[in-house]
Structure 1
Amino acid sequence: MIIILCTTPKDMSIVLNLTKTLLHHKLAACITLLQEARSFYYWGNALKEQDELQLLIKTRSSLKEAVLNTIQQLHPYKVPEFLVLPIIDGEPNYLSWMQSVLRKH
């Protein structure tokens, strides 16, 4: 199991489209939205600062490419954040529930 970090613009229509699509296709067991994120980064040669929303996408590692493809299709950023963190342990019933709601492949 993994958690994928993905920031989005501060626009709920984008977040809802992305999260509902991932959940509908059983590519994510759960997506947590963290609000009030502020990102600082270089784009080109300019220092940027932007209010964003942070998504924590919980899924299985075998679904990582399908999640990435969906994000690339629906995300407005040219290069969306897509960072994968392994889940090395967790409450067994929660992990079992995750497995049960995700597509098999």
Structure 2
Amino acid sequence: MNKIVEITTTVETVEAARELAEQMVVQHLAACVQITGPIESVYRWQGQLCKTSEYKCTMKTTLQCQDLAVEWMTREHPYQIPEILVQQCESSESYTRWLAQQLAPDIRP
């Protein structure tokens, strides 16, 4: 098994999720982005209890590309304070190889 990275965030609309996903793949920052939802989020914002419908984006990338992907997402995310979660995962050798081939040549392992 090999290590890869999953980066997860949420956005308000399926259109925003699709745009984020497409840009991450087009810019070779993620090999694959899965969109799930709608999901319900409950949180406190500026002292108020909020309940909203959101869409979750889960991006697959490499350890080498992780920082660039997080920087880009932080800059381009539609939320003022986006939730960006990063988790290392184990992956099969063939999937890891495919994933790395999808990324920009200068950030491949």
TM-score (norm 1): 0.88
1:1-105 correspondence to structure 2 within 5 Å = 1-12=4-15, 14-87=16-89, 89-103=90-104, 104-105=106-107
Letter in 1 for 2:72: T
Residue deviations 1:34-83, cap 9 Å, x none? Answer: 11211111112111111000001000122222212222232211011100
Asked if 1 retains the 8 angstrom alpha-carbon contact of 2:18 and 2:35, the reply is no
Query: Within 1, Cα distance between the matches of 2:97 and 2:68?
Result: 21
Query: Within 2, Cα distance between the matches of 1:90 and 1:78?
Result: 32
RMSD: 1.4
Asked if 1 retains the 8 angstrom alpha-carbon contact of 2:7 and 2:58, the reply is yes
Query: Within 2, Cα distance between the matches of 1:96 and 1:78?
Result: 35
TM-score (norm 2): 0.85
Query: Within 2, Cα distance between the matches of 1:4 and 1:20?
Result: 15
Identity value in percent: 23
The number of residue pairs the alignment matches comes to 103
Long gaps (5+) in structure 2 = none
Long gaps (5+) in structure 1 = none
Structure 1 stretches of 4+ with a deviation exceeding 2 A read: none
